[in-house]
């Protein structure tokens, strides 16, 4: 039996809104990455982007377990010799609350062109409001 390949015009992408208030970061990120890739659909193919759009609200109220607020570090490099910088999860939440979820989901997506396209379908907002009311997103409980 041949594998079914959905043509590009037949791919149906829905919009979902997720409330991240008091959710655990890793468990939320796995469900979001699963939906962004389209693995919940029967027409899933690893080389076709057929995932849905995900809107995450209340990103500033995400939770981490244990001592991860102080122990979990995010690294970046300035480009100069010895220029590695680190930021704890607590500092990252204070400066850029949306980056915690974005970085967690990005690490769970493929590291190629399809993964970058799937990450563009993730919209993360620190507060409860979002500008995507016109798309009529459905509430997604995780």
pLDDT at 4: 76
In a domain, 70, yes or no: no
- CA distances 40 to 26, 33, 36, 37, 45, Å, are 18, 11, 9, 8, 11
Domain that holds residue 42: 14-65+97-139
For the entire predicted model, the pTM comes to: 0.93
In a domain, 18, yes or no: yes
Q: Read off the CATH number of the domain in which 29 is found.
A: 3.90.1180.10
pLDDT at 129: 96
DSSP state, 137?
P
φ/ψ bin of 43: left (φ > 0), alpha (ψ from -120 to 50), beta (otherwise)? alpha
Q: Give the residue ranges of the chain where pLDDT is below 50.
A: none
**How many domains does the chain divide into?**
1
In a domain, 29, yes or no: yes
Kindly report, residue by residue over 114-134, the tens digit of the pLDDT.
999 999 999 999 999 999 999
Of 88, 9, 84, 1, which is closest to residue 50 (Cα–Cα)? Answer: 9
In a domain, 115, yes or no: yes
Do residues 55 and 18 make contact, with C-beta atoms less than 8 angstroms apart? yes
In a domain, 46, yes or no: yes
């Amino acid at each position: 039996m041949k594998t079914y390949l959905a043509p590009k015009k037949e791919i149906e992408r829905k919009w979902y809104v997720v409330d991240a208030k008091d959710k655990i970061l890793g468990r939320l990120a796995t469900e979001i990455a699963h939906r962004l890739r389209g693995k919940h659909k029967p027409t899933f193919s690893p080389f076709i982007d057929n995932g849905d759009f995900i809107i995450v609200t209340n990103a500033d109220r995400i939770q981490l377990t244990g001592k991860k607020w102080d122990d979990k570090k995010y690294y970046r490099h300035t480009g100069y010799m010895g220029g590695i910088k680190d930021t704890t999860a607590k500092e990252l939440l204070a400066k850029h609350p949306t980056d915690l979820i974005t970085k967690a989901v990005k690490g769970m997506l493929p590291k190629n062109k399809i993964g970058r396209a799937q990450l563009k379908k993730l919209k993360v907002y620190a507060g409860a409001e979002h500008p995507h009311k016109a798309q009529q997103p459905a509430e997604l409980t995780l």
